[in-house]
Every structure is written in structure tokens, then in C-alpha cells.
């Protein structure tokens, strides 16, 4: 089983760009999304992130659109709750409700789009070596790497077992559905242990003693990409500040 | 629900990252020590992380007809203990941000405090208290998992109330609003997650007793005739 964002990252036209380059661009965009005034700053950041993803990075619009649904549900609920005022006369709108809600939604949508640009162009396994360069201990990065590799195997198990349960009427009532979900979680957990044990035995047989060393793929940094990113971010900052 | 990227003001995002850091660093140290002593733990810890991620993909049927997803913080705390969960939970939150667009990178600290620190510690504390008071494994698991779920969303509500105090009633009013929207609606779902935890542990005690004994969840049973 696969995850749409992960699939997009592996297929993206930016897949072979250096992860550090993409991380710098997206971190810059997230910084702009947070620091610039919502109008027009956040709008410009969101448009830039979406244009880069759908344009040069060739991320499917459907994947990008579907991925933002969840965060949008949170942003809408959170922003609405933040601008409703509870007073003596019951519920009402805060004095500057529209402006505050607009600003909250703007920052969050722009930030989410910027992170999603990174997520849909860079597989997690490319980002983990960057964590190592940021001085995260090797043991922690390795645990994260095993987590990333195993979660797809477990998602596959989850979907297969669930299908089998559904075919045997395992979800035909709330009571049965609970029992099936408990058994499903237990089956996935025991399978994860089994997988880990088998992997361990296989690696021990190959002489693993200290860590899971793999040959990292060489993805060279591009000066042109970095220069264009810096110029684009500078333009965003000036436009966002001047037009506010 | 995870706090979305860009939703918290920068000062709050930084503040919560600072709050989360000691717990995550403590968890990382525990993992580094464990891996140094037992290199094979890398795979078991990775499996635990992957399970925590996948647990949140299980649909939990809710009485109202809709469905929700377990947070997994309580089950993780009972199985793997809170210090390890602080790190594994943060790794899982990072993956959820990068693979599912749930949560974010600047809000990772705030989400880690709710999902990887407060939730697991509240659940584990309740579990130990219930066990010390003489409760069996399954009732203790129910209390731990339900409370961990609820504590996670109460923390998220506190974080949102601190960031967005109400115009007229201030922090208290805002806390009431966010608790009403994010935590009270969570009560039936917390009970649901507690039930799921009980069903999970019931299957595990029947089918995976050695693993539960190795994790320290169950006391090792002495084989008849004693150790040979």
C-alpha cells in the first residue's frame, strides 16, 4: 500500500534535486508564510508554493488538493473558534473577527502549502540524511529510517486484514467493528515484531554489528536553483512588506 | 487533530518547541543508550514507530455514525513507556506532517507536547496508579488509553487558547471555547479508543504473551516445575 504524497515525492520532477536545496526553499517559504502580513504575503507564498509544485515539480494537482483537505478542516474549525466571542449575551463575533480569521487562515494555508511542496517533491528517505547533518544522533535517524521502511509494509497488512474482516462481515455492526479493529491492531503489532525479528536475523547473518549503513544516493546541490530560490524569496519578502 | 502548519504565531511555535525539546532529547538519549547496548533494538524501535503511525490509520467506529482515528498515545505509553514515546511520537508526527500533511514543521513542537509528551505521561501515570490500586491489566489499559487521548486534546485546547485569547473573556473564555470544540467532542472518541485498547490487549495477552513479558507489561509466568 502506498501513500499519495509519498508516491508524488518519488515521481516528482524535483526528485533528483538536492534535498538540502529543497529544504532551504521550503523553509524560506514557511518563514515568509509566518512572518509576512497575511495580505498579500501569505497569499503570495501560497500561490508560489502551489505554482512550483504543479508547474516545475510536476506534482499531480489531485494529490496536492486531496492532501490539503485535512489541514483545511482543522484550520477552518480552529479559526472559527478563535474569532467567536463568548460574552454575557451569549455567542457573538469578536470585534475584528473577519480580519483575524482571514489572517489565521492565510498564514496556515500558506504554511501548509509550503510544507506540502517539500513533502510532495522529497521522499522522507532523502530527508533523513539531512537530519544526520543537523547532528541528530545516528541511532535516532536509523530508528526513523526503519520506521519509514516498515510503515508501508504494515499499512499493506492493515489493508489486507481489514479487507478480509470486511468480507467475513467483521464490520457489520458497531460491536463487531470494535472487535475487528482490536484484532486488527493486535495483528499489525505482532506482525511488526515478526518483521523486525526476521530483519534482525537476516542482518545478523550478514554480520551487522554497529548500525545500518547504506550507500547514500548522490544528489548534488544546484547553484542555479539556490540562486533562483534566494531571488524568489527576496522578491516575496519585498512585495509582502511593501504592498502590506 | 494536529495543529496545522502556520496556525500558531511564531513566538508560540518556538515556545512549544523549547518545551518539547528536553523530553524529546531525553527520549533520544534513552534510544541511543538502548541501541548501543542492544544494536538489534533499532529494528524493534523502528517497528514500534511504524506501528504507532499505522495505529492512527485504523478507523474507529463511533456511536454517532461518523468515524475517527485513534491517537495511539496511550497504547504506545503502556507498551513502550513515555520516554521512548516522546521520541517515537515526535518521529511519527514528523512523518504525519511529511506523508499525510497532518500537522506541520513549525507546529511540530506544540503537537509533540500534546501527542508525544502529555498524552503518554497522563496515560502511563493513570496506568501505574490503576495497577497500584489493584486494577487488572485490561481496566488499567482502558483508563490509560482513554485518559491519554483526552489529555492530548485538552493540551491542544490549552495551546490554542494561549495563542488566541478571547476578545472579551480572555484566556479562560478561550479555553472554554477550544475545550468545547476539541476536547468535549472527544469524550466519546476517548472512550472508543479505550475500548480498542482493551480489545487489543486482550488479543495480545492471548497470542503474544512472551512479547508483553519482554516489554514488562506482564509479569513472567513461572513454568510448572520451576526453572530447569
Averaged in consecutive runs of 10 residues, what is the pLDDT profile of chain A (244 residues)? 90 94 96 91 94 95 90 89 78 81 93 96 92 90 93 93 93 90 92 88 79 78 96 93 81
The answer on A71 and A143 residing in a single domain is no
Name the band, by pLDDT with cuts 50, 70 and 90, for residue B66: low
The answer on A76 and A143 residing in a single domain is no
The answer on A82 and A144 residing in a single domain is no
* 8 Å CB contact of A81 and B208: no
Per the CB < 8 A criterion, the answer to whether A64 and A50 are in contact is yes
Per the CB < 8 A criterion, the answer to whether A42 and A244 are in contact is no
- Residue A166 within any structural domain of the chain: yes
Q: What is the ipTM of this complex?
A: 0.93
Least confident span in A146-160, B8-22, B165-179: B165-179
- Per the structure block, which three cell numbers stand in for A6? 509519498
Tens of pLDDT along B70-86? 888 899 999 989 999 99
Give the structural domain span for A224.
4-122+218-242
* 8 Å CB contact of A186 and B43: no
> Which chain B residues are closer than 8 Å to A184 by Cβ?
58
The answer on A49 and A114 residing in a single domain is yes
Q: At what angle do helices B73-80 and B119-132 cross, to 10 degrees?
A: 60
Instruction: Report H helices in chain B.
Output: 10-37, 41-55, 73-80, 82-99, 108-112, 119-132, 137-163, 170-178, 187-207, 209-214
Alpha carbons within 13 A on the beta-carbon side of A84: 16
- Residue A76 within any structural domain of the chain: yes
Of A124, A150, A174, the CB nearest to B99: A124
The answer on A199 and A166 residing in a single domain is yes
φ, ψ of residue B71 in degrees (nearest 5): -80, -30
pLDDT at B67: 59
pLDDT at B62: 60
- Residue A213 within any structural domain of the chain: no
Q: Which residue of A has its CA nearest to B30?
A: A140
> Which chain B residues are closer than 8 Å to A131 by Cβ?
none
- Per the structure block, which three cell numbers stand in for B34? 538502548
CA of A158: how far to CAs of A4, A64, A206, A230, B92, in Å?
17, 25, 30, 43, 17
- Residue A130 within any structural domain of the chain: no
pLDDT at A93: 82
- Domains of chain B, each with CATH number or no CATH: 10-214 (1.10.1760.20)
* 8 Å CB contact of A151 and B95: yes
With a cut of 60, say whether residue B224 has pLDDT above it.
no
The answer on A225 and A200 residing in a single domain is no
The answer on A113 and A24 residing in a single domain is yes
With a cut of 60, say whether residue B64 has pLDDT above it.
no
The answer on A71 and A164 residing in a single domain is no
* 8 Å CB contact of A5 and B98: yes
The answer on A83 and A159 residing in a single domain is no
Number of domains within chain A: 2
- Residue A34 within any structural domain of the chain: yes
Best of A5, A23, A147, A175 to disrupt the B interface (most B CBs within 10 Å) is: A147
CB atoms within 10 A of CB A173: 11
The answer on A114 and A12 residing in a single domain is yes
Closest CA to B96 of B131, B141, B126, B52: B52
Q: How far apart are the C-alpha atoms of B40 and A198, rounded to whole Å?
A: 11
The answer on A184 and A109 residing in a single domain is no
The burial of A88, by beta-carbon neighbours within 10 Å (0-12 exposed, 13-18 middle, 19 or more buried), is given as exposed
- Per the structure block, which three cell numbers stand in for A87? 460574552
- Residue A129 within any structural domain of the chain: no
- Residue A212 within any structural domain of the chain: no
Name the band, by pLDDT with cuts 50, 70 and 90, for residue B228: very low
Of B39, B94, B169, the CB nearest to A86: B169
Least confident span in A8-17, B87-96, B202-211: B202-211
The answer on A236 and A201 residing in a single domain is no
- Residue A210 within any structural domain of the chain: no
3-state secondary structure of B162: helix
Whole-prediction pTM value?
0.93
Per the CB < 8 A criterion, the answer to whether A24 and B121 are in contact is no
pLDDT at A153: 92
Amino acid at each position: 500500500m502506498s501513500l499519495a504524497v509519498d508516491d508524488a515525492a518519488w515521481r516528482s520532477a524535483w526528485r533528483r534535486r538536492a534535498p538540502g536545496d529543497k529544504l532551504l526553499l521550503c523553509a524560506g517559504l514557511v518563514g515568509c508564510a509566518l512572518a509576512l502580513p497575511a495580505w498579500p504575503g501569505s497569499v503570495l507564498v501560497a500561490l508560489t508554493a502551489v505554482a512550483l509544485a504543479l508547474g516545475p515539480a510536476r506534482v499531480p494537482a489531485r494529490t496536492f488538493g486531496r492532501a490539503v483537505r485535512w489541514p483545511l478542516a482543522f484550520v477552518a474549525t480552529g479559526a472559527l473558534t478563535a474569532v467567536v466571542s463568548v460574552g454575557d449575551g451569549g455567542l457573538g463575533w469578536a470585534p475584528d473577527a473577519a480580519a483575524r480569521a482571514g489572517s489565521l487562515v492565510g498564514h496556515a494555508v500558506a504554511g501548509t502549502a509550503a510544507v506540502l511542496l517539500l513533502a510532495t517533491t522529497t521522499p522522507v528517505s532523502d530527508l533523513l540524511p539531512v537530519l544526520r547533518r543537523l547532528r541528530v544522533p545516528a541511532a535516532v535517524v536509523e530508528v526513523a529510517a526503519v520506521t519509514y521502511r516498515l510503515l508501508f509494509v504494515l499499512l499493506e497488512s492493515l489493508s489486507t486484514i481489514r479487507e478480509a474482516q470486511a468480507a467475513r462481515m467483521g464490520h457489520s455492526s458497531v460491536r463487531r467493528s470494535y472487535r475487528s479493529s482490536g484484532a486488527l491492531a493486535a495483528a499489525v503489532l505482532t506482525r511488526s515484531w515478526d518483521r523486525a525479528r526476521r530483519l534482525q536475523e537476516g542482518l545478523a547473518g550478514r554480520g551487522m554489528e554497529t548500525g545500518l549503513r547504506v550507500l547514500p544516493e548522490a544528489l548534488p546541490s544546484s547553484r542555479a536553483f539556490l540562486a533562483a530560490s534566494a531571488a524568489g524569496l527576496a522578491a516575496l519578502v519585498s512585495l509582502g512588506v511593501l504592498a502590506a | 487533530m494536529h495543529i496545522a502548519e502556520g496556525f500558531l504565531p511564531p513566538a508560540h511555535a518556538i515556545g512549544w518547541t523549547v518545551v518539547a525539546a528536553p523530553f524529546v532529547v531525553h527520549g533520544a538519549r534513552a534510544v541511543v543508550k538502548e541501541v548501543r547496548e542492544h544494536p538489534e533494538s533499532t529494528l524493534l524501535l523502528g517497528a514500534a514507530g511504524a506501528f504507532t503511525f499505522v495505529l492512527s490509520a485504523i478507523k474507529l467506529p463511533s456511536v454517532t455514525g461518523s468515524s475517527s482515528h485513534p491517537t495511539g498515545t496511550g497504547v504506545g505509553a503502556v507498551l513502550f513507556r513515555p520516554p521512548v514515546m516522546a521520541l517515537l511520537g515526535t518521529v511519527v508526527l514528523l512523518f504525519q506532517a511529511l506523508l499525510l500533511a497532518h500537522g506541520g514543521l513549525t507546529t511540530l513542537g506544540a503537537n509533540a507536547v500534546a501527542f508525544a509528551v502529555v498524552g503518554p505521561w497522563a496515560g502511563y501515570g493513570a496506568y501505574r496508579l490503576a495497577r497500584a490500586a489493584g486494577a487488572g491489566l485490561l481496566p488499567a489499559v482502558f483508563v490509560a488509553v482513554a485518559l491519554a487521548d483526552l489529555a492530548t486534546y485538552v493540551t491542544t485546547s490549552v495551546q490554542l487558547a494561549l495563542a488566541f485569547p478571547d476578545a472579551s473573556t480572555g484566556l479562560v473564555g478561550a479555553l472554554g471555547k477550544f475545550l468545547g470544540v476539541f476536547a468535549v467532542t472527544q469524550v466519546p472518541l476517548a472512550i472508543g479508543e479505550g475500548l480498542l485498547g482493551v480489545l487489543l490487549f486482550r488479543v495480545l495477552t492471548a497470542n503474544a504473551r512472551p512479547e508483553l513479558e519482554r516489554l514488562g507489561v506482564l509479569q513472567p509466568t513461572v513454568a510448572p516445575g520451576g526453572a530447569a
